[in-house]
Amino acid sequence: MFLYLVDLLGTSIFAISGVALAFRLRMDAVGVLVLASVTAIGGGTIRDLVLDVPVFWLSNNAYIWVVIITCILMIIFVKKPAKVPWYILPVSDAIGLAFFTIMGTEKSLQLGFTPTVAVIMGALTGCGGGVIRDVLAREIPLIFRKEIYATASIIGGSIYCLLSMYHVSRIIDVIVAIIAVLIIRLASIKWQLSLPTFGQSR
Amino acid sequence: MFLYLVDLLGTSIFAISGVALAFRLRMDAVGVLVLASVTAIGGGTIRDLVLDVPVFWLSNNAYIWVVIITCILMIIFVKKPAKVPWYILPVSDAIGLAFFTIMGTEKSLQLGFTPTVAVIMGALTGCGGGVIRDVLAREIPLIFRKEIYATASIIGGSIYCLLSMYHVSRIIDVIVAIIAVLIIRLASIKWQLSLPTFGQSR
Amino acid sequence: MFLYLVDLLGTSIFAISGVALAFRLRMDAVGVLVLASVTAIGGGTIRDLVLDVPVFWLSNNAYIWVVIITCILMIIFVKKPAKVPWYILPVSDAIGLAFFTIMGTEKSLQLGFTPTVAVIMGALTGCGGGVIRDVLAREIPLIFRKEIYATASIIGGSIYCLLSMYHVSRIIDVIVAIIAVLIIRLASIKWQLSLPTFGQSR
């Protein structure tokens, strides 16, 4: 139950990052809805397709309605879409990344996959939606920009796998791992932390 | 049987939109084939993957051959590919959008999914192929351009769901809903109808 | 066993093309890993999703580790990433294309699909990973550039289907067909062979 609410909350916040990008690109209501949907639902859909389990939003329409309602609320309450602060997109994206990474890792472990697969599926769930959003909107995917992104997802998934081996309460594991991803990602946005890149002379 | 022929016809016409784009981008025969295939078959493939039913063109190669033959005929009969009228792409895309939206909605309802899911799967079937085509060709996806696009798909799918509740003849339902999508989309191309966008000062 | 080693080798070489592109685009270690992974594993993943068989790297983590180790070795041993010779990318891509096309065709035939489907699945396996790599990196997909690309894949898959009808040793079939793809693709890079394009006045 707790995990379910976390999931719906993550869906809503991730959708906001799609809405923010659509606002910036001056899209109409349907563009907003499309970008919000692929962001919020895309990663988990890829995960379920790859794991060959039923796609999560087919049997439970709550996820779809959360996205739709999020879009409607944003459209109604944001008075000046052009002036949505720039940090709304990366911050809501960071929260979605954190929630979905851990939910994806958790689901894969539950299904009996190895930690290696679970970490990858976590990264796919967390990063997938944002990548589709950025590809459709023809932006450079956040995952390839300078700041730490997928790294946060991989570290968080690994932490969750480690914690889950010691059979602590699942809820605590989830919360700790989500916070770990969030801290890494938000810190890297705030202080523009980045891994060294290749290609420059070194 | 009727639905099957509608499906093959829609496949062929949708393929033409891929051919038209490939011509404009001065691609070779294989580029033509690739763009035509992803447009005509991409949306339905995503739908079948998400619904976890066998992908439609695996067991019935007719769809593939329709695409191949459409490409060959276009290459043979279009004398000046550079001078294909500009409206061929959006009009063939509109017809494909209309046919595939309704076939996708219909298939989902048949499989017992809720109308919410059916409308989304219709939009995914109708818009998916065109989006992949545009992403591969590095064009701004039609779905994000100014004119009404996904809206037509969503309205058409909703009309079909409503009609199907009253158990009228399925064929009539299909025809009415297809025509509805077509009229909305073609009218919006003709008169450049669009939803209000966000982002400008208002 | 032989086919399995060919597969792992192809995975490693295909990953190199992703690494080379990431180096050129001055990405960090995770960008390298992401591009290498989608290139090496993307095409086969799409194939398995469409054929509705378990995704190959879920049950056998060797593929994932081959990609990770390839990335680590490349990062360690390439002293000047900016100076990786330009031909590394197309040549490693060509080898990956050849290996994966034939493995994809072979797998589809084994599963009892028609040669038409097998050739398409071969092309999807061979070209899919590279296309995703190029879309994510916002490059023009190699498949749409001037030189012969998908054509090599389609011809190689067809050759394999023909050979397999005469029940020669599967290993010989695989080797012959892989070499055919390689020769066609490498020759077209070397001498800039291309199919005639449409769109110019002719």
Which of B23, B61, B136 lies nearest to residue C198, judging by beta carbons?
B23
Q: How far is B49 from chain A (nearest CA, A)?
A: 7
Q: What are phi and psi of C197, to 5 degrees?
A: -100, 160
Q: What is the mean pLDDT of residues A151-169?
A: 90
Task: For residue A32, give the nearest of B195, C51, C159 by alpha carbon.
Answer: B195
Task: For residue C145, give the nearest of C156, C134, C137, C153 by alpha carbon.
Answer: C134
Residue A89 pLDDT: 86
| Chain A CB within 8 Å of residue B196 CB | yes
C24/A195 touch (CB, cutoff 8 Å), yes or no: no
Residue % of chain A over a pLDDT of 90? 58
Chain B neighbours (≥3 Cβ pairs under 8 A) are A, C
Which of B49, B144, B197 lies nearest to residue A49, judging by beta carbons?
B49
Whether residue A3 contacts residue A103, with contact meaning beta carbons closer than 8 Å, is answered with: yes
**Residues pairing with B28 in the sheet:** C197
Residue C88: half-sphere exposure toward Cβ, Cα within 13 Å: 19
Residue C90 pLDDT: 87
Which of B116, B117, B195 lies nearest to residue A29, judging by beta carbons?
B195
- The ipTM value here is 0.85
Residue from C16, C28, C67 to probe the interface with A (highest A Cβ count within 10 Å): C28
What b/e sequence results for B154-190 when a residue is b if at least 16 CB atoms lie within 10 Å of its CB, and e otherwise?
bbbbbbbbebbeeeeebeebbeebbebbbebbbebbe
Q: Is the pLDDT of residue A200 over 70?
A: no
Joined tokens for residue A30: 């349907």
Q: What SS3 state is found at A197?
A: strand
Residue B171 pLDDT: 86
Which of C27, C52, C138 lies nearest to residue A197, judging by beta carbons?
C27
Which residues, other chains included, contact C9 with Cβ-Cβ below 8 Å and sequence gap of 6+?
C99
Which of B23, B52, B136 lies nearest to residue C131, judging by beta carbons?
B136
Residue % of chain B over a pLDDT of 90? 58
Q: Is the pLDDT of residue B33 over 80?
A: yes
A144/C55 touch (CB, cutoff 8 Å), yes or no: no
Name every chain C residue with its beta carbon within 8 A of the beta carbon of B82. Answer: 198-201
Which of C28, C33, C52 lies nearest to residue A197, judging by beta carbons?
C28
| Chain B CB within 8 Å of residue C112 CB | no
| Chain A CB within 8 Å of residue C167 CB | no
Q: What average pLDDT does the structure give for chain C?
A: 88
Q: What angle do CA B168, B150, B164 make, to 5 degrees?
A: 10
Q: Give the C-alpha separation, C11 to A147, whole Å.
A: 28
Residue % of chain B over a pLDDT of 70? 95
Which of B49, B52, B136 lies nearest to residue C141, judging by beta carbons?
B136
A197/C61 touch (CB, cutoff 8 Å), yes or no: no
**C79 versus C202: which is more confidently predicted?**
C79
Q: Is the pLDDT of residue A175 over 80?
A: yes
Which residues, other chains included, contact B179 with Cβ-Cβ below 8 Å and sequence gap of 6+?
B98
Residue C89: band (very low, low, confident or very high) from pLDDT cuts 50, 70, 90:
confident
A2-47: pLDDT as tens digits: 788 888 998 999 999 999 998 888 888 888 999 999 999 999 999 9
Whether residue C84 contacts residue C139, with contact meaning beta carbons closer than 8 Å, is answered with: no
B108-118: pLDDT as tens digits: 999 999 999 99
C117/B65 touch (CB, cutoff 8 Å), yes or no: no
Q: What is the mean pLDDT of residues C88-95?
A: 89
The structure tokens 């990196």 sit at C137
Q: What angle do CA A12, A14, A16 make, to 5 degrees?
A: 75
Q: How far is B138 from chain C (nearest CA, A)?
A: 8
Residues within 8 A of B (CB atoms), C 25-64 only: 49-52
| Chain C CB within 8 Å of residue B24 CB | yes
**Length of chain C counted residue by residue:** 202
Residue B99 pLDDT: 94
DSSP C102-135: HHHHHHHHHTT--HHHHHHHHHHHHHHHHHHHHH
Whether residue C157 contacts residue C119, with contact meaning beta carbons closer than 8 Å, is answered with: yes
A30/B195 touch (CB, cutoff 8 Å), yes or no: yes
Q: What are phi and psi of C27, to 5 degrees?
A: -85, 170
Name every chain C residue with its beta carbon within 8 A of the beta carbon of B58. Answer: 50-51, 113, 117
Q: How far is B86 from chain C (nearest CA, A)?
A: 13
Residue from C16, C45, C57, C58 to probe the interface with A (highest A Cβ count within 10 Å): C58
Q: Chain C: residue nearest A132 by CA?
A: C136
Which of B135, B154, B200 lies nearest to residue A135, judging by beta carbons?
B135
**CB-neighbour burial class of residue C200 (10 A; exposed 0-12, middle 13-18, buried 19+):** exposed
A34/B150 touch (CB, cutoff 8 Å), yes or no: yes
B198/A64 touch (CB, cutoff 8 Å), yes or no: no
CA distances from B192 to B96, B140, B184, B189 (A): 19, 17, 11, 5
pLDDT winner (highest mean) among A76-85, A126-135, C1-10:
A126-135
A37-86: pLDDT as tens digits: 999 999 999 999 999 999 999 988 899 999 999 999 998 888 776 677 88
Name every chain A residue with its beta carbon within 8 A of the beta carbon of C52. Answer: 52
- CB pairs A-B closer than 8 Å: 73
Which residues, other chains included, contact B189 with Cβ-Cβ below 8 Å and sequence gap of 6+?
B87, B90, B91, B94, B147
Q: Give the C-alpha separation, A82 to A185, whole Å.
A: 25
A116/C27 touch (CB, cutoff 8 Å), yes or no: no
Name every chain C residue with its beta carbon within 8 A of the beta carbon of A196. Answer: 28-29
CA distances from A49 to A35, A64, B162, C43, C86 (A): 20, 18, 30, 15, 36
A199/C82 touch (CB, cutoff 8 Å), yes or no: yes
Residue C155 pLDDT: 94
Q: Where are the domains of chain A?
A: 2-190
B49-85: pLDDT as tens digits: 999 999 999 988 899 999 999 999 998 888 776 677 8
B151/A30 touch (CB, cutoff 8 Å), yes or no: yes
Which of A25, A49, A136 lies nearest to residue B131, judging by beta carbons?
A136
| Chain A CB within 8 Å of residue B198 CB | yes
Q: How far is A25 from chain B (nearest CA, A)?
A: 7
